[in-house]
Amino acid sequence: MLEPGVLTLAATPIGNPLDASVRLMRALGEADLIAAEDTRRLARLVSALEVVTTGRILSYHEHNEEERTGVLLEALAEGRRVLIVTDAGMPVVSDPGYRAVRAATAAGHPVTVIPGPSAVLTALAASGIAPDRFTFEGFPPRREGRRATALEPLAGEQRTMVFFESPRRTAATLATMVETFGMQRTAAVARELTKTHEEVVRGSLGELATWARSTEVLGEIVIVVAGAEPIAASAEELVELVLARAAAGERLKDAAKELAKGHTGVSASELYDLALRRKD
């Protein structure tokens, strides 16, 4: 049951409306104000769920989020039950909602979450790529140069990486990933998750880039990329890099810690001690 004066974020189905939770269905019927990323998609969802909404429905998306957050705060101050939903998945995660959460908490209003479907976790589970440690990177930049610049620092990331992408840019993004991460890096492209035409294509980045160039990629896209393999190296080989980073202004201990992360067989303390001796 929704509480008066509480901002509620609710996850909606990422494809199949039958994935809607009982709590979501009840919240849609109880809310005094529903802030929806797309009011037409909300109308289709409540129709599919056979839910009757009685509260006011407000359009709330990236282009008016800042302006309309004030409307949500006013409703909360009046003791209204305010619900935020987006087109699919969890609000805030690559979707509107962050500003409302910050503003509500700053004003002293409680914030709660109705959990539910997640494209990130669904794709990760279906990818066949190690799920124990992963990072969500959202949408890569649209422009090729900026995309390459954004992906470059992730080349040595050892955790599995999850990205969202537009179907129109999937081929270009995979091509950039080949250049940055290498052709042999294991990856998966998940599209239309939980929908009728759900598909998960697995292989190397090189194979996926070829696939994307030769087919018309359609639907909502999630790209999962395996993390980099740890590089075996000796402390003697790394100490010069530590000293160079320290000379550039980084703390010696921090430099040793960061370099040890990406290499097997070398501890941060060992690298730090050796760098100290070399420096002296």
Domain with residue 163: its CATH number is 3.30.950.10
32 shares its domain with 107 = yes
**Residue ranges of the chain whose pLDDT lies below 70:** 231-233, 261-265
Q: What is the pLDDT of residue 276?
A: 86
Q: What is the pLDDT of residue 277?
A: 86
Quote the CA–CA distance of 70 and 92 in Å, as a whole number.
Answer: 17
DSSP category for residue 89: B
pTM of the model: 0.82
**Number of domains present in the structure of the chain:** 3
Q: Residue 249 sits in which domain range?
A: 231-279
24 shares its domain with 56 = yes
Q: What is the pLDDT of residue 260?
A: 74
| HSE-up (13 A, CA, CB side) for residue 133 | 5
Q: What is the pLDDT of residue 263?
A: 63
180 shares its domain with 247 = no
CB 97 within 8 A of CB 85: no
Q: What is the pLDDT of residue 18?
A: 95
Q: What is the pLDDT of residue 146?
A: 96
CA distances from 172 to 50, 209, 227 (A): 40, 8, 20
Q: What is the pLDDT of residue 270?
A: 82
